[in-house]
Amino acid sequence: MEAVSPDAESPKYRMTWEVAKYRAEKYLPVSGKIYGIPRGGMFVAALASHRVTLVDDPADADIFVDDIIDSGETAAKWKTKYGKGTVALVDKLHRPEDTKLPWIVFPWERQRGEDSPQSAVTRILQYLGQDVTREGLVRTPERVIGALTEMTAGFHQDPAKILTTTFKEKSDEMIVLRKCRFASLCEHHILPFTGTATIGYLPGEKVVGISKLARLLFCFSRRLQIQERLTAQIAKSIEQYLSPLGVGVILKAHHACMGCRGVNQPDAEMVTSAMLGAFRENPSARAELLELSR
């Protein structure tokens, strides 16, 4: 009964009315007054109408219901305003089993033609006052989802597999890849930050093909990121899978979220570094890597 049907052409699940009713019986209140958060929560509230009282005014409700709790932002806003909690058919924030579910398409969304992520982009464009039927915007939702899918492909890549092919080669000199360009998405504004990376390590008993370092960079940069975390993830993966004597990563990047909005500083460059092992413990090794990164 908990099963949902996968869509063969995209990473989403189409929930059936049968599953929705089952989840309503399992997770929704058995008594009291509820209010369905517009719009999905209104359909969810109707599924429980045989055992609870539906109210028109949120202030009169004992609890709110919704179709999904994902980031928890909506539930938090309603709790702040009315001091009451929210329950949902799918709760990715609090139910471990639900966190494994991808994009959910609820039955009422299919009936309203809202069964795709492209429809969410269309709604944003409409919110901005745009005519989504004009020539320049007709395919924009499709392009936006395609671009975001490509720029977050790193979530589906495994750094262990990237660094799995190694060669036994003793070397007491550092290996450095520099001026490797990357592009990532700031997770706070979904705007790009772009720059160059210097990745260096002092081999232990093995080395890895230099292209694998670039692939590792792309694995972590093609995600929703912050530069500090991105830098640390690259360094820690090299330390974990190559067991080098030391590893150092330096990223230099320009952030669109800072350059085209807010403080409007397009020329500002952010520099982050992660130094592990010999690069942290040996000042001369660290200084050499910093010099090579210029």
Cα–Cα dist 237/135, whole Å: 45
Q: What angle do CA 215, 219, 223 make, to 5 degrees?
A: 150
**CATH number, domain with residue 66:** 3.40.50.2020
194 and 209 share one domain? yes
Q: Give me the pLDDT at residue 257, please.
A: 94
- Report pTM: 0.70
143 and 244 share one domain? no
Q: Give me the pLDDT at residue 48, please.
A: 93
Q: Give me the pLDDT at residue 294, please.
A: 85
90 and 43 share one domain? yes
Among residues 225, 193, 199, 196, which one has the least CA distance to residue 211? 199
Q: Give me the pLDDT at residue 113, please.
A: 59
Residue listed under structure tokens 């492209």? 118
- The total of structural domains in the chain comes to 3
Overall residue count recorded for the chain in this entry = 294
**Range list of β-strands (E), the chain:** 5-6, 12-14, 33-36, 53-54, 63-69, 86-91, 103-105, 166-168, 175-186, 191-202, 206-208, 224-225, 246-255, 270-277
Q: Give me the pLDDT at residue 160, please.
A: 96
135 and 111 share one domain? no
Q: Give me the pLDDT at residue 170, please.
A: 76
Cα–Cα dist 282/267, whole Å: 33
194 and 225 share one domain? yes
Domain that holds residue 92: 5-115
Q: Give me the pLDDT at residue 117, please.
A: 84
Burial 125-134 (b: 16+ CB within 10 A, else e): eeeeeeeeee
Cα–Cα dist 71/90, whole Å: 12
Q: What angle do CA 115, 118, 119 make, to 5 degrees?
A: 55
Q: Which residue ranges in the chain fall short of pLDDT 70?
A: 1-11, 111-115
